[in-house]
Structure 1
Amino acid sequence: MSVTLEKMYQVSHADGTADKRYTVRLEWCGHETQLYVARFCGHWISCAETQEGAWKDCTDYRDKPAG
């Protein structure tokens, strides 16, 4: 079961509004402890030991060049 965090949307559109397609939640994902899982539209991006690290993975994913 995943837990929704208070700071649910920390990735924003160019106009500054929250981009709700990105989420970070504490989840069981095959490790001994729960990790923060970054997702885009429900699809896994990465897992991280810290919430900040997972949000950074979201912004890196958003900013990566297409192709």
Structure 2
Amino acid sequence: MKSSLPTNLSKKHFMLVRGSCFGAWSWYKIARDIRSISDYFKLVRDFIEAIDGKVILVSHSLGGLAIS
């Protein structure tokens, strides 16, 4: 069955950027050494630059600052 979605939608990605006030338990599978807000922003920017296609950013709290 052929998809009814336009082909350009296949290149869209959602990036969920977490905010503050989470414990380390929520990221126990991912080890990252983030020492400053600049390090946090760099991770977001590097990920977006590595994606081929459009990125739809979704966040809350501190994540909103990072994606703005």
Q: TM-score, normalised by structure 2?
A: 0.31
Q: Which has the larger radius of gyration?
A: 2
Q: TM-score, normalised by structure 1?
A: 0.31
Using CA pairs below 8 Å that are at least 6 residues apart, which structure has the higher relative contact order? 2
